[in-house]
């Protein structure tokens, strides 16, 4: 009986170790995606088309930065790009 518990415990430890490894991998991917998103949002905010007032970049920036509520309001008012 004790041998069965030891085997089960060893198997559960393996599963836990694998799960923790996958969580670390997903954390790295999440940070990478978040940083890339922020980089592109910053590029959109400083692009010459946005500062020239042509409009499309401003709406894209609002959709990215304003969150779902701002995007919903833009669509409802017909001002979204």
pLDDT tens per residue, the chain (81 residues)?
A: 889 999 999 999 999 999 999 999 999 999 999 999 999 988 888 887 655 655 555 555 555 555 555 565 566 556 554
pTM: 0.51
CA distance 42 to 30: 18
């Amino acid at each position: 009986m004790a041998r069965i518990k030891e085997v089960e415990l060893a198997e559960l430890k393996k599963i836990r170790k694998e799960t923790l490894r996958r969580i670390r991998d997903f954390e790295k991917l999440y940070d990478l995606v978040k940083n890339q998103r922020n980089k592109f949002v910053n590029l959109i905010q400083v692009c010459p088309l946005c500062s020239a007032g042509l409009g499309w970049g401003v709406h894209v920036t609002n959709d990215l930065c304003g969150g779902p509520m701002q995007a919903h309001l833009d669509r409802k008012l017909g001002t979204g790009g």
